[in-house]
Amino acid sequence: MTLRTLDTLGDLAGKRVIVRADLNVPLKDGEITDDGRIRASLPTINALLSQGARVILISHLGRPKGAPEAQYSLAPVAVRLAELLGREVDFATDTVGDSAHEVVDQLTDGSVALLENLRFNAGETAKEESERRGFAGELAGLGDALVSDGFGVVHRKQASVYELAELLPSAAGLLIAAELTVLDRLTETPERPYAVVLGGSKVSDKLGVIGHLLPKVDRLLIGGGMLFTFLAAQGYKVGASLLEADQIETVRGYLAEATRLGVDIVLPTDVVVAAAFAPDAAHEVRPVESIEDATFGASGLGLDIGPDTAANFARIIASSKTVFWNGPMGVFEFDAFAGGTRAVAQSLTEVDGLSVVGGGDSAAAVRALGFSDDQFGHISTGGGASLEFLEGKRLPGLEVLGW
């Protein structure tokens, strides 16, 4: 089966086309700090507008718990989207309520509206299929067709990603198609050596993918929050750093499996340990054997890989032919802990081959650190989705589109 593309939906002039985008941008004090995901959604939106469709955008933002929370409103996204499109974007203050219906009813051909955060509705992420189906039914009432283009969420079986695609004529948008073209190159015949670099903070999510990636890669570099579970698996004390104690045994299994497969799992030899989680916290570089010997004792927090590790990672990355990187090496949002992420980003720009950065925060990090998109082979909007794709998993949000 092949993915249904946009053209399979036929003539969309005058049709109400729901676009499930991933507009989950990072916000700080109500300001968008990286609009990459909005920009990545533009080709599909523009293609539909030029056909004379009535475009109804839906997305989630952050992780609200099934009810409205002002800090997760998509209102700032509507403003930025209007600037980027150079046209008005109507905004509905709810997702399937009176406001949404009013906004959709007033849409004219070739115009666009954004509905409020999908996750303000418990049905979007409900465990019960019937609840998701109920919410998807309400969404379906607003449109004639669905274009699914939120690559960052295709690994999730959620109402707007899965059930809605069953209820309406549906197809993949241009972003999903473009993402798959690049990721296919990584899964089919990656040029070797092939390195995957993992970091970030969704530790339990990301530890799970390692077992499936090991048979596919030559080198696996571990930074970010998950590195401490690896250090703990080797018997080191990690102070108050992020740790998934119940995953230590699993990680020991990965280390043994890597040895058996001849895969290099490259772990940090030094880390930056801080007194507190704050931009101006006192900090020092420690070898991994003596994290708790830092001035801050057992309350010390590892917030970045150390300079020796960064140099080693950079050397290994730059000498690989295919590199996929997901997850910042440290708390790059604070300058004092951005060094590891900066070094890894720099080395990816030096890869003689295909370099791919995936993940919302990873993409935001490289841009915040002053790199430009064209220095990398590809910047993917999906972190978890890319990783699951590279594992060879079936992704529900793609399967429902015929893939």
- Contact partner, 276, from ligand ADP, Mg ion, none, Cβ < 5-8 Å per class: none
Question: In the bound complex, what is the minimum distance in angstroms from residue 237's beta carbon to ligand ADP?
Answer: 15
For ligand ADP, the closer of residues 46 and 250 by Cβ is 250
Give the residue closest to ligand ADP by C-beta: 359
Question: In the bound complex, what is the minimum distance in angstroms from residue 133's beta carbon to Mg ion?
Answer: 28
For Mg ion, the closer of residues 223 and 300 by Cβ is 223
- Contact partner, 26, from Mg ion, ligand ADP, none, Cβ < 5-8 Å per class: none
For ligand ADP, the closer of residues 118 and 243 by Cβ is 243
Give contact residues for ligand ADP (rule: CB under 6 A).
199-202, 224-225, 242, 302-303, 326-328, 330-331, 333, 359-362, 383
Gap between the Cα atoms of 38 and 80, Å rounded: 8
Question: In the bound complex, what is the minimum distance in angstroms from residue 383's beta carbon to ligand ADP?
Answer: 3
DSSP 5: B
The reply on whether position 361 binds Mg ion by CB under 5 A is yes
Round to the nearest angstrom and report the end-to-end CA distance of the chain.
6
Size of residue set near Mg ion by CB under 5 A: 2
- Contact partner, 239, from ligand ADP, Mg ion, none, Cβ < 5-8 Å per class: none
Interface segment toward Mg ion; rule CB under 5 A; list 104-112, 116-124, 326-334, 359-367: 359-367
Question: In the bound complex, what is the minimum distance in angstroms from residue 283's beta carbon to ligand ADP?
Answer: 12
- Contact partner, 242, from Mg ion, ligand ADP, none, Cβ < 5-8 Å per class: ligand ADP
Q: For residue 266, give the nearest of 215, 306, 221, 314 by alpha carbon.
A: 221
The reply on whether position 64 binds Mg ion by CB under 5 A is no
Gap between the Cα atoms of 381 and 401, Å rounded: 19
For ligand ADP, the closer of residues 89 and 176 by Cβ is 176
Tokens coding 288: 């991994």
Cα distances (Å, whole numbers) of residue 101 to 39, 89, 104, 113, 212:
26, 15, 5, 11, 44
The reply on whether position 330 binds Mg ion by CB under 5 A is no
* DSSP conformation letters of 100-129: HHHHHHH--TT-EEE---GGGSGGGG-SSH
Q: Which helix (H) or strand (E) holds 179?
A: helix 174-188
The reply on whether position 34 binds Mg ion by CB under 5 A is no
- Contact partner, 36, from Mg ion, ligand ADP, none, Cβ < 5-8 Å per class: none
The reply on whether position 360 binds Mg ion by CB under 5 A is yes
Gap between the Cα atoms of 284 and 306, Å rounded: 9
Gap between the Cα atoms of 30 and 289, Å rounded: 41
Cα-Cα-Cα-Cα torsion 233, 238, 243, 247, nearest 10 degrees, comes to: 10
Q: For residue 144, give the nearest of 169, 119, 124 by alpha carbon.
A: 169
Question: In the bound complex, what is the minimum distance in angstroms from residue 360's beta carbon to Mg ion?
Answer: 5
- Contact partner, 143, from ligand ADP, Mg ion, none, Cβ < 5-8 Å per class: none
For ligand ADP, the closer of residues 383 and 396 by Cβ is 383
For ligand ADP, the closer of residues 146 and 364 by Cβ is 364
- Contact partner, 158, from Mg ion, ligand ADP, none, Cβ < 5-8 Å per class: none
For ligand ADP, the closer of residues 111 and 201 by Cβ is 201
- Residues involved in catalysis: 37, 202, 360, 384
Question: In the bound complex, what is the minimum distance in angstroms from residue 362's beta carbon to ligand ADP?
Answer: 3
Gap between the Cα atoms of 139 and 159, Å rounded: 9
CB atoms within 10 A of CB 101: 14
Gap between the Cα atoms of 242 and 250, Å rounded: 16
Gap between the Cα atoms of 193 and 104, Å rounded: 51
Cα-Cα-Cα-Cα torsion 348, 26, 309, 236, nearest 10 degrees, comes to: -140
Burial class (CB in 10 A: 0-12, 13-18, 19+), 162: buried
Question: In the bound complex, what is the minimum distance in angstroms from residue 72's beta carbon to Mg ion?
Answer: 14
Sites of contact with Mg ion (CB under 5 A): 360-361
